[in-house]
Amino acid sequence: MTYMPWDDSLLVGNEMIDDDHRTLVQCLNELFEASDDDAQAIGNVMDTLGIYTAEHFAREESLMAETSYGDAANHKKEHALLLKLYVDNRNAYRAGQATRMDLVKFLRMWLMGHIKNTDTKLASHVRSLVKAEPVAAAPRPAVKVDWTKVSVGVVDDSVEMRRTLRTILRGFGVAQVIEASDGAHFLQEVNMLRTSVDIVFSDDGMSPLDGIEMMRMLRGASDSPCPQAVGILIPADGSVGKIKAALDAGYHGVVAKPFSANAIRQQAERFLGNPLPWERVNGAWRPVRAKPVEVKARPGEFRR
């Protein structure tokens, strides 16, 4: 049973904020579902919650500064108080003075209260500015992406990073996530299962097989079960050289670290909703791009 199912009454009308809230609600549900005997799982969810919450607050506060939000001081005060209460409650749990469910109930209360009141006011302020001063909208997918039907690969040697991505994806509704700690294990897994993933998110520097080599093999091997999966590289450094190497290897795009749930969604839906045509170059499949992929790190995005 899902403790706090996501529903549209939680939407504040700003995609970046809504995607972050989905991830936080997903964390809350994972904390609810964790077994009291599994201290490791509970600790993992709490770490993700703490880090992602702090990063989410920083993103909202950047938005307040960028849009000269009049109620910024009060909103920030509320963030500081919520973070303090979160740490106090987490410490009480660790000291055996509170149960896991005490923490779950506290988080639900603050998420509901803060989202439905404070964040809703911020989002409506941002929307009022967009109406007054139209800005170029990001390209929207031609076909709406139904994430419940999307099968995803997550390849990263950091357990923490895989956990964060999995939480973000589950928040979107993804049911199937195949995880691996490097390219070789990922290829082995999909070959063994003969599973065709629709999209793969991959780190770059991994051993024994890094993300660039993995993509070359996924696109070119005659027995590859998913040679045309959408590929998104999440490199440690988003340098021009790295982006070029990624695109040459057959990736569709790059999301720079630090990343947010919304950056992941935008880049993924851009290619899942508007599939690129394919060409074969030297026996390997490659997506055909009309123009170079734009990569931007945004201030306050998720940091490790």
Contact residues for Fe ion, defined by CB under 5 A:
60, 119
Q: Name the packing angle between helices 261-272 and 15-33 (round to 10°).
A: 110
* Minimum gap (Å) between residue 12 Cβ and Fe ion: 8
The number of angstroms, rounded, from the C-alpha of 191 to the middle of its chain's C-alpha atoms is 26
Measured from each CB, the residue nearest to Fe ion is 119
Q: What single letter denotes the amino acid at residue 16? A: M
Pairwise CA distance, residues 49 & 131, whole Å: 33
Kindly state the smallest distance separating residue 77's Cβ from Fe ion, in Å: 11
For residue 106, the minimal CB distance to Fe ion (Å) is 16
* Helix%, strand%, coil% for the chain, nearest 5: 55, 10, 35
CA dihedral 11, 14, 16, 21 (to 10 degrees): -20
In the complex, minimum distance from the CB of residue 56 to Fe ion, in angstroms, rounded to a whole number: 6
Residue 206 CA to residue 293 CA, distance in Å, equals 23
Contacts of 203 (CB under 8 A, 6+ apart): 155, 156, 157, 158, 161, 211, 233, 234, 235, 236
Residue 286 to residues 40, 76, 220, 228, 242, Cα–Cα distance (Å) = 41, 46, 9, 8, 17
Q: How far is the CB of 60 from Fe ion (least distance, A)?
A: 5
Contact indicator for 221, 295 with CB cutoff of 8 Å: no
Closest to Fe ion by CB, 60 or 269:
60
> CB of residue 303 vs Fe ion: minimum separation in angstroms?
17
Query: C-alpha 202: how far from its chain's center?
Result: 13
Shortest distance, CB of residue 123 to Fe ion, whole angstroms? Answer: 9
Kindly tell me which of 108 and 185 has the beta carbon lying closer to Fe ion: 108
- Closer to Fe ion by Cβ: residue 55 or 119: 119
Our CB check for Fe ion shows the closer of 60 and 203 to be: 60
Coil, strand, or helix at residue 287?
Answer: strand
- Residue closer to Fe ion (CB basis): 55 or 156: 55
Q: How far is the CB of 61 from Fe ion (least distance, A)?
A: 8
Which residue, 18 or 269, has its beta carbon nearer to Fe ion? 18
Nearer to Fe ion, 70 or 205 (CB): 70
134: burial class by Cβ within 10 Å (0-12, 13-18, 19+)? exposed
Nearer to Fe ion, 8 or 37 (CB): 8
Q: How many CA atoms lie within 13 A of 25 on its CB side?
A: 23
Q: How far is residue 108's CA from residue 87's CA, in Å, rounded to a whole number?
A: 15
